[in-house]
Each structure stands twice: as C-alpha cells, then as structure tokens.
Structure 1
Amino acid sequence: MLAVRIILSVLLCASSLVLLTNLHALRRARALESGGARATGQCVDHFWPSGGYVGAICVYAVEPGEEMRVRSSRYTTAPVEIGEEVEVLYRPGDPKSSMLAFEAKNRTGFDVALSSVMAVLSAGAIVGLALTV
C-alpha cells in the first residue's frame, strides 16, 4: 500500500508541476495575443537543439535602430525560412518578452488540451491518495 501511495504522490507532484507550467505559458500567450503589440520581423537564422529539431531566430524592431531577437519553439522542420517575414507579438513595456504570432495561436489549443489532461491526472492522484488512507 505504501508503494501505491508513493506512486500516486509522484504522479500528483509531476502532473501538478506540468499543469502549473502549462497554465503560465497559456496565460502568457493569451496576454500577448489580446494585449500585445505587433511588429513585423524577419527570420535571420536557424538553430538546431538536440534531438534533430530546428527552430528559427527572428529579428524585429520596436523603435528605429533597436533590433530585438525572438526564438521560435523547436520543430521537426523549419517553421519559417531565412529571409521570410513573420509577425511578432511583444509586451509594449517589455519588448524582450515576445513570441512569434503563429506560435501564440497554435500554443493556445495545445496548452488547453494538455492542461485538461494534467488536471484529470492530478485529480485522479488526489482521489487515489484519499482512497488509500
């Protein structure tokens, strides 16, 4: 019985951590979508994190002469090609907090689905812990 409680406790901690991290990312993406400023950027390079993935590095200007960088998430194929224009969302008071517009839109659906799954796993672990008392 102790082993079951330990497994349920680990499941509760892990799913809660993923849930909270995901809710933070969802909140950030929605805030940028609804209240963020928009700028046109351009893909200037690609980066290759481990695992055979690729991401894009894009630059955009908030003010003339002030160039900011934003990195995309990682993908199996390049999300944009070098030289291609992209729309960037950023927080007006903090232009370094930015995200590619297409990622903010795509992220919302993914984060809602993953948050729902993690909430169900957390609730199941709580019920399991309550029943094994």
Structure 2
Amino acid sequence: MVEKKILIIDDEERIREIVQVCLQDLGGWDVVTADSGQEGLVKAKTESPNAILLDVSMPDIDGFEFFDRLQQTPGLKEIPVILLTAKVLPQDRQSFERMGVKGLIAKPFNPLTLAQEVEKLLDADG
C-alpha cells in the first residue's frame, strides 16, 4: 500500500487532535501536524506530505499567505491543499478555486466522514 502522509496546519490544538484521529484511524493516513503557518512551511519541506489540510484563519501566516508561499517554493507547489475553514463566503469559494486549492471542508465538519471527504477531494481530478 502506498503511504499516505498528510500535514494538518491549524492553530487550534483541539481541531488538530480531532482531525489527526479521524484521518489516522478512519483514513489510514500518516499524520503530521503544525500549529502555525510558519511551522507548516518547515514541515512541508521536511516531511514531504502527499497532501495538506490547511486552516485559513491563523495568527502568524493565514491560509492565503501560506498557500501563496507554498506556490512559490519548488517541490512544494505540487502538494495538493485542502482548506479547512469556518468562514466560507461564496466569493471566497471562487477565489479558492482560482488559487488552485483542491477543495474546501467547512468547520464544523463531521468527524466520521472527514477522511472520506479528504479522499474524495484529492481524487477529484484523478
């Protein structure tokens, strides 16, 4: 089986823990976590994740800036990014699509279906 490694970047510890358990236990993912955009950038380089689950609202580097920096880094811009956010406005969805993110999962999410949602978004374009 191909190893599936996902990087979860969220400044809320409780969210990171819930997402980690859901993806490890229900999705079979190897999970790496970061509590800030800055730490996320470091771990994206050192851990070589297959995907990134990214909170949009974070204090140091928000999701938009993180994604922008990721896109400017050779070897990292190919990593698919799924946004995890509580604030989803229709115009935000459009700008996320233009940015090239793989998809969006709204908070609060259903812990029982989170792993399936992630898989579906990552498989969306084959």
Q: TM-score, normalised by structure 1?
A: 0.24
When you count strand as a share of all residues, which structure comes out higher?
1
Q: Please say which structure displays the higher CA radius of gyration.
A: 1
Q: Relative CO higher for 1 or 2, CA cutoff 8 Å, sep ≥ 6?
A: 1
When you count helix as a share of all residues, which structure comes out higher?
1
